[in-house]
Structure 1
Amino acid sequence: MSFKISMFSGSTDLDDALTLLAQTAMGLPRDSNRLTLEQAHEHYCSGEGYNQLLRTAERFKIDPETLPERQQLDRLFRDELLSRKALQTHAARNVYNSGKVALWQALWEPFKDKLLPNQTLLQTMAHMTALNTSAAGGDVQTCVDWLLQQLKAMDFSVETLTNKGQAPILFARRAAMGMQGHLVLYGHYDTVKPQPERWDTDPLKLTLKNNRLYGCGIGDNKGALAVRLQTIAGMDKAPALTWIIQGEEEIASPFAHQQFPSLLSGVKATLWLEETGYHDNEGTQRLLARVIGNEQEGDLPPDRALWPLIDSLAQDAALWKVGYRVESRSLNKAFFQNGCPFNKQLPTGARYLAIGINDPRSGIHKPNESIPAWTIRLHQRQLATVFEWINRIAAGE
């Protein structure tokens, strides 16, 4: 698919891009409304706003020389404001003009690849979204075959567990590649039943609107699954990985509850990574980190080894100008009577982490399910941070 904000087509694309950049550069709340061009002009061309723009370029290792000088930027904004005013006066459609193109290229182009997912990842998300993997859907086996192909291309050995009438479980393992330690990942490919009549967009077509990606299952769990597949595929170093992906979470995981106890029995890992995680509406990241205690202890706070990872993840979030908070609990899955089969198998002493791409507006299991586009690049960076921490811990640092 074509990710509209990464291409040039009109005024709303430019305004969305300038809003996303301002949120990252100046720490504007992530749930703030789209900036008007006048507001963007005021933000970027003030002395403090321009300095924040330069500091943002430095944070993301972008050469400040690629950005326009403040006076030049002010002139670009004024040209576009004048152009829009003229078009409104003459009731014309504001689509293409040289001022808009110049502002887009000068201000947005240097940042876009740092802040938005690439086309390969978007195509992966679009492919997964197009498959109806609900319990009554017809694309479960197609999705399993595709996931199997992706995992094998990444040199995973994969065991496919099947049982008549139940969705397959993929149990994938890969030896360490230039790093020490072991990470266990969990995910699922099934979704709730798409209900097109209740959606504003096609639930089986990945759609961008107002800096959010919409599609059935994009928040639970196809979006995060796609991000992790593409990110890990692009890494040349990694700890040992065990990845368990099931297909019945939305119907209470009957097959997983049968199989996970034997699959995960005796597995020892440096870290156990949940299927996804959340940000608050304004951007604050919820870092769910805990150590599994015994039956009497329950969830324990992060141990001494986990805190350096939390600090590093917080530093990653700060690049996007968002804060964080630590909660010593699991991802909320209380709506399943028997609980989460992954969480139920975590051994005493296991270190657990939940980070991801969702926010409260994601509306999982509901019509118009979505994810904020800005969280994707941050999650990719944090996966690399997790890998580096696992390597250090396993090496005894």
Structure 2
Amino acid sequence: MSAQSADGSAFEFDIRVLTDERDLIAALEVFRTAMVGLPWSAPIPPEIAGKFFEVGRTLGAFADGELVGTVDSTRGSLTLPGGRTVAHAAVTHIGVLPTHTRRGIGSHLVRHQLTDARDAGEVVATLRASEATIYGRFGYGIASRVASVTVDTRRGGFRPEVPAGDPVRLLPADQMWDVLPTIHARIPNTRPGFITRSSQWWAAQELRYGQDRGPAYTAVTGPEGAETGFVRYHPVGTETWFGNHERSIVVDDLFAPSREAFVGLIRFLWELDLVDRIVFPGLPVDTSLPWMLTDQRAVATNHIRDETWLRVLDVEAALRARTYGDGGSLVLAVHDPLLPENTGTYRIADGHLESVTPGVASDADLETDVATLGSVLLGSMHWHQVAYSGAVRTGSVDPLARADRLFTTGSAAFAGTNF
């Protein structure tokens, strides 16, 4: 492949799948260098690189024999509205060395990856974006947001009607990495946007946990062998913990797909001695937490940020797998220049995808691009919202209202997993 250097001269680079352990570790170093401010951890020994990278899914860009860019992903599943799951690529570690940026290397890597994922039968890809202006051009759209929340445990308490929730027990640290992945994989979660966690994701969590980060704890709900959820948390500001009146814990990971598990874990955190505040870096934007308390103002939303950036790889499969509300029929035309096999006209009627026609029909009710479709696919973003951007073309307001009724869901989309 050809690219142009900063001085205008042309240079060649090639992209290939990385399999050698030392190349995989070098790819991780490229990513860290590209991210500049990424929290550092101990280097991964080459002999255990296989625990952190799924075979055949890490791409490297080489220029003059030097690894200058990388991207990788892991395979899993994502839950669509209605509870069905589709094959999913969790995309991460996208980076190009600062000496080789602005030359198209990153674009070639991402396009190569998306084509490979589509050819492998994956229906959607998602990522967590370091910059908000990059990924729209590759067909990604924001499909879910999360709320950063702080709870003041000194204000009020639980409403008397709130149930007790599932019983909670602390989990010894030496059991954590065997028990938690089993819980997460065993319990179905029908919330749109939920994703499975790969063994590589868990290996990375264990590595970070093993760094010298101070005290940290894990609690689970339910009986041994039939757990219903879990929470990992750690205190901050421990150097002034005793005598302080602003003592806080941070929730690192909360998995509570049922009401009973959620209530049990929140009660447990609330009732911890010496704790004045609980910080949740990421909760669903429709969390029930404030309505559990006598003083709803004890729950303060610090900010809301984007979580899932979703790229539809197979439009027909995605639209066929999800369910729809009672909105009548809709003829939707989709443009996808990067994966042209997605460009077509899709008719939704009687609660399902009824027909697919190649090309864009001139009489479609709505016409849009694949990134916008990615934003509305999980139901949290509405057609009338994205239409204000000009990304949706329609002759009247009525199709937007019908599309909203068809695509809107009862629960906000939420993945609950950073990668």
- State the TM-score, normalized to the length of structure 2: 0.26
Instruction: Name the one with the larger strand percent.
Output: 2
- State the TM-score, normalized to the length of structure 1: 0.27
